[in-house]
A and B are shown apart, each in its own frame.
Chain A
């Protein structure tokens, strides 16, 4: 492969940046240093996309070093077609987070950017880890920075939201710790590749409870119904950058866990839990959409829409057919782009109006045409309009669902219809109609920095909608490998 450790550099560059930032003085310098770090990280990750071989199923850019020799645990990095798009998403969204926080964060600036950069290291590392131990370390490393991001720089209910987030995710992940230790004890390794071979030594009954242990961690992060209740609080109270990280990356970590751990290592456990998983996903789609309909707070509305959209993702994963799984991964990327964009849009206007209540808005279109156009694009994308990115993902997932069970496809279609309803209705109430008297005199139009922050996401939404192959081509080989032996019924 390559002598230059691309993955390690990409992963730990933000951490180094965070350490540097803690030593810097003025807020201005800190902002620029943070921006430089994230841009450098993005640049450092570019060789990954250039030199990646889409035909291979094995991990690429593999790095391995001795770490804890007495326990035979190694430091291992590597990416395949499933994890690569997420590294792209994580590095890109981090840059945009800096852009979104430029003027919004005025207190304790240094710590804010340090926490953001530590979170970036955790996000990239999680997707680049090639063994379960490292995966777990990064999984947990994410916890404290996000806890601080929500709790220190969040809205009025931030402390409650932060503690709830911490306790929910920690409860899940400690069970994953026990599961990981049990796997290590039985298989003698924690390397993902090694585990895929050693999984035969896991008994049927053991697989069932191991799946349950990992499910506890993944379901909380996704979040699946009914352990999603931390999400509305956390997303609503977090500062914009925190919401973007939560919606864009953190929610994907759980679904990625299913793909990286549950499906390849615990196939019998997956079979056992298949039905409940599908039902819970369907419930999340429809129930989540209904709850979204009645929200009166813009940010909360988008947060609840994530429950419904992530329902699509878990539904796609557990259809266990190619269309469903590829659609699910594509939809994870799509949701990362769109929900991040929507949170950015909400954050930008909140910075000016200081209200999140839908009833305080109205007629924004007349004052801020550029903003309204971009918001329209993202709302349509989220609603699954053909030509924009979500359409492809949802289409593939629904196709997969119909192949598994017709009623699941029906539920998913119903969810799409409701999704269109709540998004268009939101757009109607915020942008159309007479200008709300509260907004008169406010300068709502976006400035160049904000347009530059949203533009990459808008472009991505269009590109992936018109040519989804640019992500799907990465997925083909690894998904085929994932579904080949013993997993599909």
Chain B
């Protein structure tokens, strides 16, 4: 296996991105860009799975790794990309199509690179590629002041977080003399139990830099503004993709590179998780803008997903992988309904009486909301079950109780949407028919959400930690 074959999925996406930019002028009014992106995403997913059949391997001097863990997330990223592209079909009027899709593709390339990284430098490279594209995607609706404001806020805070990450990487290099994950691990275990302040700082900074990507408290402040200002499909892309990649990176870094510092890591992660769960679910209560509410919901979900990593065990990491997987589909589904309803879907009041007008859409939304709350038989319950199992296994009973208590709080704001949909009279005319692409994306998300809830075992076999 040559080095380049390891990156074939990334190459497909990057190649398609470049091709789309080349033909951007000619394809402005056509669906070429969207179709190309979906095909590239599917090809990337297939090749990711296919590469793995040849066994795992490393390349580029040990900087890039292909294993079950990386390919699991690559398939997830490709699915996110495909679904977001399908969800975007309505919101392409006022933006340059070729560039929009090229940016999505490049961001996904960065994500894939990050989950395949076996060294802090390619990890940083991948994450930066993702984030830089995201800044532009958030601000791509040039005519909208809110969009610009969101992009600037996101950029400033994102740069700060990137600085933290780079600082952490450099301190790690200073303490261990390497940036390779395995080499870091052996340097740390060789160093014995002697506490090294430099190292503590390094781990804390790297964790903080990655926590920003998943919008964990206290590095969450960008999410509500960015989601609100961005178009709904971009917000969905950030909520699903950025979170999955941040979790993947945290999982590998915590388990492989800094694996010997279990105590410190579980302390840091438990702090992030607990705070995210509390802050996310409580502040979401007072939101009236749907995208802002989903931003806070995504913050609390970041906390739940982190619960799996606290234990620092392969089982725990598998739990987080399952959480990330199911979360991506349920959150894309929820955003899908928001997008499908257009302007109406972006404010909470717009959901009043939806069930009377569009029973099917309301039912889909109800399924996604149940999943986000964690009510069986949806995937959200399976996800919550595995992470709480993992946190109970690691002995943090109090954290488990806190997590479930906050899931009751979250039921307030998720089910408020259900109350609006089912128990109020409609105030706005019924929404127009959805494009086929949107319906297809919603159907896929709903199917995964339901099948994942009924038969979570089918995924568990794939969620193998590094």
Contacts and interface: CB of A to CB of B under 8 A. Distances in A.
A140 B376 contact: yes
The dominant DSSP class at the A interface is helix
A143 B375 contact: yes
A200 interface: no
A163 B460 contact: no
Contact of B389 (A111, A137, A158, A184): A184
Contacts of A111: 355, 359
Interface in A118-156: 136-137, 140-141, 143-144, 147-148, 151-152
A68 B457 contact: yes
Contacts of B388: 177-178, 181
Contacts of B392: 178, 181-182, 185
Interface in A20-34: 22
Nearest to A180: B385
B370 A167 contact: no
Interface stretch (A168-176, A418-426, A458-466): A168-176
A144 B400 contact: no
B401 interface: yes
A108 B359 CA distance: 10
Contacts of B69: none
B356 A108 contact: yes
A174 B405 contact: yes
Contact of B381 (A22, A140, A181): A140
Interface string B398-440: 0011001101100110010011001100000000000000000
A131 to B, nearest CB: 14
A151 B457 contact: no
Contacts of A136: 376
Interface string B162-199: 00000000000000000000000000000000000000
Contacts of B386: 71
A185 B375 contact: no
B55 to A, nearest CB: 22
Interface string B115-133: 0000000000000000000
B452 to A, nearest CB: 11
Interface residues of A, number: 35
A355 to B, nearest CB: 23
A129 B356 CA distance: 35
A152 B423 contact: yes
B456 interface: yes
A163 B355 CA distance: 17
Given A67-B455, A174-B408, A152 B422 contact: yes
A178 B457 contact: no
Nearest to B411: A170
B397 interface: yes
Given A140-B375, A159-B419, A67 B457 contact: yes
Contacts of B457: 67-71
A147 B422 CA distance: 10
Interface residues on B, range: 35 or more
B407 A174 contact: yes
B366 interface: yes
A136 B389 CA distance: 15
Contacts of A163: 412, 415, 419
A69 B408 CA distance: 29
B393 interface: yes
Interface in B340-392: 355-356, 359, 363, 366, 370, 373, 375-377, 381, 384-386, 388-389, 392
Interface string A188-226: 000000000000000000000000000000000000000
Nearest to B393: A185
B387 to A, nearest CB: 10
A166 interface: yes
B389 A171 contact: no
A178 B397 CA distance: 8
B455 A175 contact: no
A68 B389 contact: no
24 contacts: A22-B363, A67-B455, A68-B456, A70-B457, A111-B355, A111-B359, A137-B376, A137-B377, A141-B376, A144-B370, A144-B375, A162-B419, A162-B423, A163-B412, A166-B411, A166-B415, A170-B373, A170-B375, A170-B407, A171-B405, A178-B388, A178-B404, A181-B392, A185-B389
Interface of A: 22, 67-71, 108, 110-111, 136-137, 140-141, 143-144, 147-148, 151-152, 158-159, 162-163, 166-167, 170-171, 174-175, 177-178, 181-182, 184-185
Given A167-B411, A170-B411, 16 more contacts: A67-B455, A67-B457, A68-B457, A70-B461, A71-B389, A110-B359, A136-B376, A137-B381, A144-B375, A148-B418, A151-B419, A163-B415, A170-B407, A181-B385, A181-B388, A185-B393
Interface of B: 355-356, 359, 363, 366, 370, 373, 375-377, 381, 384-386, 388-389, 392-393, 397, 400-401, 404-405, 407-408, 411-412, 415, 418-419, 422-423, 455-457, 460-461
